């Protein structure tokens, strides 16, 4: 549904709300305000009962807390995905929000493993679904190893996002989702079951495809043995930029792992793992770029890079696994530049 389709509904809701600003009874014959519902559907690649054992959910309507509940194995609300957090029969335009905190066993209530926020607005006549994922890519590292700051940036490179932001796919961004973007995927009782995810996975059951390329700001195809420039990272370490093209994998929630081996010596690079959203590309493909593949991550170091890797060939293997469990692997042999910059 487009913003044009929703505009009359939102306008009607605004007019209805404008006439209900006091606690007096509405004039005789006045129409009640349009009402709607929102469901925050919680899933993720963090495993309930394994990666975390408690989930704290705080629900708020127009900034006021309306519910505060805990999910745990022994609680009345059991800890298992999917979790549905409902806001029912509210006037159109009402802002609704949830704050989720996941805890590892034994952690105090002041030390969550992950904090995830989500917010949107009610649209009269609709039950909207806002999908909220608890992701390993958003578990922050210890303070002192970077600063995500107030601007959008990789949350996994630093401490938790600022209070006004939340982490999605490893990046700090606004928790608010415009309801027009939710109307095309409304709530249904089976929302958490596997379903197509166009344009990246338009049909379930098709064989996935994957191609290894390069690029920091976009995907660029490369040939085998193409020279890839080794660059110095902003926080130490040295890397090459890897990019991927894929078909028949979910756009959201696909886990990507990069591995590499120097074919002559068998020296293995420390694997790199991430969960970032795929972006639509030409010809029915989707793409993922800007994968900073560090060549001297521990236990390797810069000496190993300089003496055993620079100027050598490297077999880079990418493995992508989506939320359906579909997996595909592709390898590209590249040549590392003789020096880094």
One digit per residue, pLDDT tens: the chain, 341 residues? Answer: 444 444 444 444 444 334 333 334 445 555 666 999 999 999 988 889 889 999 999 999 999 999 999 999 776 777 999 999 999 999 999 999 999 999 998 899 899 999 999 999 999 999 999 999 998 888 876 443 333 333 333 444 445 788 899 988 777 889 999 998 888 778 999 888 888 888 999 999 899 999 999 999 999 999 999 999 999 988 789 999 999 999 999 988 788 999 999 999 999 999 998 878 899 999 999 999 999 999 999 999 999 999 999 999 999 999 998 878 899 999 999 999 999 99
Structural domains counted in the chain: 2
Residue 328 shares a structural domain with residue 275: yes
Residues 264 and 165 in one domain: no
Are 176 and 47 members of one domain?
yes
Is 126 in the same domain as 222? Answer: no
Please tell me whether residues 220 and 177 are part of one structural domain.
Answer: no
Total residue count of the chain as it appears in this document: 341
Tell me what pLDDT residue 195 has: 81
Place of tokens 């700051």: 149
Q: Tokens representing 135?
A: 């992701």
Please give the backbone phi and psi of residue 209, each rounded to the nearest 5 degrees, phi first. -130, 150
Same domain, 137 and 256: no
Residues 168 and 256 in one domain: no
* CATH code of the domain covering residue 244: 2.60.40.2550
How much is the pLDDT for 30?
A: 57
Mark whether 165 and 215 lie in a shared domain. Answer: no
Judge whether 190 lies within some domain. no
The range of the structural domain enclosing residue 157 comes to: 3-22+29-181
Residues 177, 217, single domain; the answer is no
SS (H, E, C) the chain: CCHHHHHHHHHHHHHHHHCCCCCCCCCCCCCCCCEEEEEEEEEECCCECCCECEEEEEEEECCEEEEEEEEECCCCCCCCCCEEEEEEEEECCCEEEEEEEEECCCCCCCCCCEEEEEEEECCCCCEEEEEEEECHHHCCCCCCCCCCCCCCCEHHHCCCCCCCCEEECCEEECCECCHHHCCCCCCCCCCCCCCCECCCECCCCCCCEEEEEECCCCCECCCCCCEEEEEECECECEEEEEEEEEECCCCCCCEEEEEEECCCCCCEEEEEEEECCCEECHHHCEEEEEEEEECCCCCCCHHHHHHHCCCCEEEEEEEEECCCCCEEEEEEEEEEEEEEC
Kindly state whether residues 41 and 153 are assigned to the same domain.
yes
List beta partners, residue 247.
209
Output the pLDDT for position 137. Answer: 81
- Is 311 a member of any domain? yes
A 10 A CB-CB count for 217 gives 9
Residue 177 lies in a domain: yes
Any domain includes 200: no
Residue 150: the pLDDT is: 34
- In the prediction, which pLDDT does 148 show? 35
């Amino acid at each position: 549904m487009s913003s044009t389709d929703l505009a009359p509904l939102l306008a009607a809701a605004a007019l209805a709300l404008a006439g209900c600003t006091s606690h007096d009874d509405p004039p005789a014959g006045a129409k009640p305000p349009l009402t709607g519902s929102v469901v925050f559907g919680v899933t993720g690649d963090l495993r309930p009962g394994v990666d975390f054992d408690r989930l704290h959910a705080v629900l708020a309507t127009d900034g006021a807390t309306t519910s505060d509940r805990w999910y745990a194995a022994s609680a009345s609300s059991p800890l298992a995905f999917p979790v549905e957090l409902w806001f029912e029969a509210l006037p159109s335009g009402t802002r609704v929000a949830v704050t989720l905190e996941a805890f590892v066993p034994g952690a105090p209530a002041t030390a969550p493993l992950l904090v995830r926020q989500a917010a949107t607005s009610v649209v009269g006549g609709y039950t909207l679904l806002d999908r909220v994922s608890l992701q390993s890519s958003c578990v922050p590292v210890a303070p002192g190893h970077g600063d995500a700051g107030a601007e959008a940036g990789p949350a996994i490179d630093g401490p938790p996002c600022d209070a006004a932001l939340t982490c999605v796919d490893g990046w700090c961004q606004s928790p608010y989702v415009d309801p027009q973007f939710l109307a095309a995927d409304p709530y249904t009782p089976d929302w958490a079951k596997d379903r197509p995810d166009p344009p990246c996975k338009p049909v379930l059951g098709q064989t996935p495809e994957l191609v290894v390329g390069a690029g920091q700001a976009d995907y660029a195809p490369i040939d085998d043995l193409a020279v890839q420039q080794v660059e110095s990272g902003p926080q130490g370490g040295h890397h090459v930029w890897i990019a991927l093209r894929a078909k028949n994998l979910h756009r959201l929630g696909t886990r990507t792992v990069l591995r590499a081996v120097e074919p002559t010596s068998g020296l293995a690079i420390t694997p790199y793992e991430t969960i970032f959203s795929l972006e639509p590309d030409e010809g029915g493909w989707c793409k993922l770029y800007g994968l900073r593949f560090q060549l001297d991550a521990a236990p390797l170091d810069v000496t190993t890079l300089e003496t055993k890797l620079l100027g050598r060939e490297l077999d880079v293997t990418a493995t992508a696994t989506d939320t359906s469990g579909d997996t595909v692997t592709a390898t590209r042999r590249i040549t590392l530049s003789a020096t880094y910059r």
